[in-house]
Amino acid sequence: MTKTEVKERLQEEQLDEVLELIEEAEQGELGELELVESLGLLRNDTLNSEVINVLQEEGVKITYIPAEE
């Protein structure tokens, strides 16, 4: 998916907070994002991967942290 397609999909699914992360990354306001590896950002694995790719393309460093037990 292109960045535009990802953003359109996020808008369709009303995932405004994730869309804001992408917009912050585009503006250079987001340098690093910590994610629990087993959770990611979204329940939809495919869209989750696409969003992470877009963020990385915008220069965001993704750091995965282990889930707490």
pLDDT tens figures, 6-62: 999 999 999 999 999 999 999 999 999 999 988 889 999 999 999 999 999 999 999
Under 8 Å between Cβ of 55 and 30: yes
Residue 44 confidence (pLDDT): 93
What is the domain count for the chain? 1
Which tokens sit at 61?
A: 């460093």
Residue 37 confidence (pLDDT): 83
Q: Is the pTM of this model over 0.75?
A: yes
Its domain, for residue 57, covers 3-65
Greatest alpha-carbon pair distance for the chain in Å reads: 37
Residue 69 confidence (pLDDT): 56
Residue 69 CA to residue 62 CA, distance in Å, equals 22
